[in-house]
Amino acid sequence: MILKIRSVLYIIAMCITVAFTSCGVYSFTGAAIEGKTINVHFIDNASRNIVPSLSVTFTEKLRQRILSQSSLSQLNSDKTDYDISGTITNYEVTVASISGSETSVKNRLTIGVTIQFKNALNEKANFDQTFVRFSDFDANKNLQSIETTLINDITSQLADDIFNKAFVNW
């Protein structure tokens, strides 16, 4: 009896898996991606504070996030199903919290990026939006010593936000 139940559950699970994966539209990341190609343009840094590695780091994080979580292929062409371009508009360090003696305890690195997303298959899904993320760090730490780590963390979060906005309709 238990063997029959397991067999039936196994068959049902396999049918559901085949149904979701064979249609080519759904992935287990929750993304609904119908296209095959994308062009993620180089994201320029137009912020007041320029960090030379920021544009390269962010562009690669965004490309990797999209390509690793979908079956899309990156093409450097104007004729793709999806097109992402944008500009880094904000890179700044501000005070996040102050102690009783009015000295900074925590600082905050904030990165903002404006993204234009074009969906050739569904123009209603197009958007032009600014995404902002930040990370706090101890004020007694030198920014240059932790900047690479902070940039990696923040750009990963931004790439997730952009991927979710573009492809996950939750």
Q: Are residues 20 and 66 in the same domain?
A: no
Q: Are residues 9 and 83 in the same domain?
A: no
**pLDDT at residue 15 above 60?**
no
Neighbours of 28 (CB within 10 A): 9
Length of the chain equals 170
What percent of the chain lies above the pLDDT cut of 70? 79
Q: Are residues 25 and 39 in the same domain?
A: no
- Radius of gyration in angstroms for the set of CA atoms belonging to the chain, rounded to a whole number: 21
- 120 in Cβ contact with 80 (< 8 Å): yes
What are 4-13's contacts with CB under 8 Å, separation 24+?
none
**pLDDT at residue 167 above 50?**
yes
Name the band, by pLDDT with cuts 50, 70 and 90, for residue 21.
very low
pLDDT reported for residue 129: 97
Q: What is the mean pLDDT of the chain?
A: 85
The C-alpha atoms of residue 128 and residue 14 are separated, in whole angstroms, by 40
Q: Domain count of the chain?
A: 2
Range of the domain at 19: 1-30
The C-alpha atoms of residue 90 and residue 83 are separated, in whole angstroms, by 22
pLDDT reported for residue 104: 74
Q: Are residues 59 and 18 in the same domain?
A: no
The first and second tokens of residue 34, run together, are: 């119908």
Q: Are residues 102 and 132 in the same domain?
A: yes
The C-alpha atoms of residue 101 and residue 97 are separated, in whole angstroms, by 11
The C-alpha atoms of residue 13 and residue 4 are separated, in whole angstroms, by 14
Each residue's pLDDT tens digit, 119-134: 999 999 999 999 999 9
